[in-house]
Amino acid sequence: MSLKGKHLLCTQDWSRQELERVLELAEDMKRERWTDKYAHVLDRRTFFMFFYNPSVRTRQSFECAATELGGHAQFLEPKSMRLKTSQSAGETVEDASKVMSRYACGIGIRILEDKIGAYGQGHELCEEYARWSDVPIVSMAHDKFHPCQGLADMQGLWQHLGRDRLEGKKLLQVWGHGALARSWCSVQESMLICSRFGMDITLAHPEGYDLDPEVLAQVEKNCAENGRELEISNDPVRCYDGAHVVYSRNWMHPDTYEDGEFHKAEEIERALAHPEWICDEKKMKRTDDALFTHPMPIDRGHEVSDAVASGRRSIIYDVAENRLHVQKAIMALTMGDVR
């Protein structure tokens, strides 16, 4: 199997066999981290990290990944480049993508909520770069999907539940209130990849906090193909019943974008009106001794209590570490010569 040159904007675009290859390689890279087995995979090669939005874990994990593979990750910001926008003249996506392809072995793009004026624009930009690029385009999180996080989540479930024990397990994807206005990317990616691997999905949120209907239709299709179910609940308590994995995270209301603008303050006010939507110890007792996970950063005291986030069943730090390993595997398979 060769993944050389393949773009990664969403895990749904790759076959389950291809996703398993990434996860298997990530596991081996984790075991062999301090040996020379993969130390020269990207020897003298550069990976461009194109950040429209800042990050902590994403930049750190990609820079470490490139270094541990013998390459280099270069940090880029649009504000330091002369790029064409709707308000200013500059270089087109076609020209920028083609030129960067001549320099780098791959290009990562991160573009989230406040850098776009409507849901889907970030995904469209990633697709446009992929259209013109001669090297792999990897989403480092955009408004619609977050494939690297989805793979890190799945690696965490393999580690704690077992690769062959996910079939029929229940993932609770539950909304959390807070002073945030977060994109749907991590949540949608989680449901897509977990439904691909045979898990039942329960999506729980206050009325009105619906996700992308096309993505939900795909999740439902994934579940059906595996003989599983997608359930949608508006009950902040009963949704926990029987869950094996709880993923509590804030996401924005569809009305946060209006007239081409991102209305963050209004969304925060709307979200704070739902304090009952917090993952706490009392609710976790309704689960089947569930694991707790979150992509981080966590809004403690709103999305989840400290007792749960730092509790014995929390795998948040393992999943955060997994970002490094899955990204090394993605880079090695799409930009190096590893098969």
Written in H, E and C, the secondary structure of 144-183 is CCCHHHHHHHHHHHHHHHCHHHCCCCEEEEEECCCCCCCC
Cα–Cα distances (Å) from 262 to 20, 182, 252, 270, 298, in that order, read 37, 11, 10, 14, 22
- Note the pLDDT tens digit of each residue in 246-289: 999 999 999 999 999 999 999 999 999 999 999 999 999 999 99
Residue type at 135 in one-letter notation = V
Residues 137 and 172 reside in one and the same domain = no
Q: How does residue 56 score in pLDDT terms, banded at 50, 70 and 90?
A: confident
Residues 121 and 162 reside in one and the same domain = no
**Distance between CA atoms of residues 319 and 160, nearest Å:** 11
**Distance between CA atoms of residues 158 and 173, nearest Å:** 18
- Check if the beta carbon of residue 116 is closer than 8 Å to that of residue 262: yes
Find, among 9, 307, 311, the residue nearest to 151 by Cα. 9
pLDDT > 90: percent of the chain: 94
Residues 167 and 253 reside in one and the same domain = yes
Residues 171 and 131 reside in one and the same domain = no
Residues 89 and 174 reside in one and the same domain = no
Q: How does residue 148 score in pLDDT terms, banded at 50, 70 and 90?
A: very high
pTM of the prediction? 0.97
- Note the pLDDT tens digit of each residue in 17-43: 999 999 999 999 999 999 999 999 999
1 domain-assigned: no
Query: Residue 1: what pLDDT?
Result: 79
